[in-house]
Amino acid sequence: MTVVVDDPLISRMAISRVLPLHESSRRLRELYPECPRVYGVAVMGDLTRRRWWPLSEVLTTDRLQVMYEAAAAETDSRVAVAQQLAATLSHVVIGRVIPLLALEGRAWDTGLENLWVHVDSEGAIDWVGVADPTLRVLPDDVYFTGRSGLRQRHPVRDRIVALPNEAALTTWVAHRSHRALTPLFDKLVDVTGGALSVSAMWHVVGAAVVSAATQVPLLAGSSEMTSMRRGQAVLDALVGFGAPVRGTGRDAQVRYC
């Protein structure tokens, strides 16, 4: 029997106007109701800011250093800690958006300046929010074809933009994610003293994309072919931007849930 968890952060969201991103995030949360924060994101305008901070602060504060030291205190392996932090950053930036891309052909902006993270009482990241809820979607999205639940459509007000085709959408996701992850990984190398190479971190990204694109059809009963095609298109674009996401070996098997 599926257990539906009443998450306090989600239940306290004050949504004044339901946007397409709210609808998509609700559907994503329904994929795994036992852990509703695994999929989807929050809209920062709906929340109080307690225990939330902009992901960009990783680059200008000691937050990543604190997370590293806390995890390193519990294990003898600096490499394992670096792998887990790389997996966490990968999941925050790109691992969460791939399920929506695979399932609905939609994506929020994964740019570093748009992402916020929520931390638990121990300082570990457990949810993600976006400052700008605008979605990029395919031209045949249900919003534009009249099959959405919104009674009166207004794309600008509803924060939704159609891109020309699937290639444009997957390339945009890859570009924004690459721009976000590049400085984050550079910072992680500094914090960990080079315990894990940047190329190994990109291998983790590749594993995160493949894992997400594989899991979504199993949970949603959706098309495996569509999911993998979109996931592989993102990987192709990342390779084109110089990210070695198709590495093999142990580092590529790291996952974040």
Write out pLDDT tens, residues 219-239.
999 999 999 999 999 999 999
65-74, 177-186, 201-210, range with the lowest pLDDT: 65-74
Query: What Å distances lie between residue 128 and 10, 118, 124, CA to CA?
Result: 12, 6, 12
Please report whether residue 172 resides in a domain: yes
Please report whether residue 82 resides in a domain: yes
Tell me the pLDDT tens digit for each residue of 142-198.
Answer: 998 876 555 567 888 899 999 999 999 999 999 999 999 999 999 999 999 999 999
Q: Which of 87, 84, 85, 106 is nearest to 97 (CA)?
A: 106
Please report whether residue 189 resides in a domain: yes
Please report whether residue 66 resides in a domain: yes
Please report whether residue 3 resides in a domain: no
Please report whether residue 2 resides in a domain: no
How many other CB atoms are found less than 10 A from the CB of residue 168? Answer: 14
Please report whether residue 62 resides in a domain: yes
Q: Which domain holds residue 122?
A: 8-253
* Amino acid, res. 97: V
Please report whether residue 245 resides in a domain: yes
Predicted model pTM = 0.91
Number of domains, the chain? 1
**With b meaning 16 or more CB within 10 Å and e meaning fewer, what string describes 106-140?**
bbbbbbbebbbbbeeeeeebebbbbebbbbbbbee
Calpha distance 72→78 (Å, rounded): 6
Query: What Å distances lie between residue 28 and 31, 35, 53, 89, CA to CA?
Result: 5, 11, 23, 20
- The helices-and-strands tally (H runs, E runs) of the chain is 10, 7
